[in-house]
Amino acid sequence: MTSTELTTDATPTNASLFIPAPVTPYQGDIARYWDHEARPVNLRLGDVDGLYHHHYGIGDVDHAALRDADDSSYEKKLIAELHRLESAQAELLLNHLGPIGRDDTLVDAGCGRGGSMVMAHQRFGCKVEGVTLSAKQADFANQRARELGIEDHVHARVCDMLDTPFETGRAAASWNNESSMYVDLHDLFAEHSRILAVGGRYVTITGCWNPRYGQPSKWVSQINAHFECNIHSRREYMRAMADNRLVPQAVIDLTPATLPYWELRATSSLVTGIEEAFINSYKDGSFQYLLIASDRV
Ligand SMILES: C[S@@+](CC[C@H](N)C(=O)[O-])C[C@H]1O[C@@H](n2cnc3c(N)ncnc32)[C@H](O)[C@@H]1O
Ligand SMILES: CC(C)=CCC/C(C)=C/COP(=O)(O)OP(=O)(O)O
Ligand SMILES: [Mg+2]
């Protein structure tokens, strides 16, 4: 399947040629937020190997590698280590997409600067279509794809993930990597369910508040204010998937796996001030870092 086969309209390939107006004032806020984002914790990590992520990390820290570093090399090694953990997170998401062939097309809903899209293409050889509200991010992702010579396979566009131009029932798999907290989950899963082939796979890695805690904690509220997002509860994910023909096949609590990333990041010069809220909410049980992989039935 080619990318033009997956799309139903003649949307230009360069995000800057045609930028649809945000559907709501909130979406305008989010587009502006990501158009202006340039935090060193994201750019310096991306510079390590050219994969630019806007998500967090999982896995054990290689303390031995950091211990061996002298003062001058420590910062560089720390940045490489945080980046390694963020790429490990994306690898785990890709592990749950199921068997993907070179002729398949994948959809990244809320693709950011495109790091996960590049990784997916490099692993499967397939096409990857991404959507973001930010023209800056789409241009950045498309520029990276050109630099890598994979622009025929990896493409980002400015588009609302709730209303995409992708053809019904053609995507082999789709995902949200830390981007579902910006939208209504029923609307989101209705759109994934529409674009996915029956038997296709949907995967999300997300932070959600834990219904067992009761209501969103002050830390969760702080994270919402920091990123202008609206974190959903774990229960909302399950209900909205069930209502949209997405049946969980795997639910993995990644909270213990992400804490080492946050504790390492909190010691670095790249802190942004949000580290305490993540660490405290993961530790008090009010917030969870989850992977959910669902079959489109
Ligand atoms: C935290 S970033 C995650 C980026 C990427 N998934 C990654 O892992 O690097 C959130 C992304 O969601 C996108 N986003 C938020 N609301 C959206 C919407 N309604 N439609 C499309 N993208 C949206 C933002 O533009 C941004 O690219
Ligand atoms: C798990 C949750 C609740 C995520 C909210 C979405 C978000 C902003 C993710 C990370 O983006 P980033 O990489 O730009 O953030 P930072 O600058 O903190 O690294
Ligand atoms: Mg980041």
pLDDT at 14: 58
Does the structure show a pLDDT above 60 at 4? Answer: no
Specify the 3-state DSSP secondary structure of 91.
helix
pLDDT in tens, 55-94: 999 999 999 989 888 878 999 999 999 999 999 999 999 9
**CA-nearest residue, atom 13 of ligand 1:** 110
| Rounded average pLDDT over 124-138 | 98
With CA atoms as reference, report the closest residue to 33 among 262, 197, 229. 229
CA atoms within 13 A on the CB side of 29: 9
Ligand 2 site, residue 223, Cβ cutoff 6 A: yes
Domains and their CATH numbers in the chain = 3-206+253-278 (3.40.50.150)
- Which residue's alpha carbon is at the smallest distance from atom 14 of ligand 2? 54
Tokens of 108: 């990244």
- Given a cut of 80, whether residue 286 has pLDDT beyond it is yes
pLDDT digit string, tens, across residues 194-224: 999 999 999 999 999 999 999 999 999 999 9
Looking from the CA of residue 289, the nearest atom of ligand 2 is 1
Task: Tell me the average pLDDT of the chain.
Answer: 94
Return the pLDDT at 12. Answer: 43
CA of 55 to the centre of ligand 3 (A): 5
Q: Which residues line ligand 1 (CB under 6 A)?
A: 27, 30, 34, 53-55, 110-112, 115-116, 131-134, 137, 160-162, 177-179, 182-183
Share of the chain above pLDDT 70, in %: 94
Output the pTM of the full model. 0.95
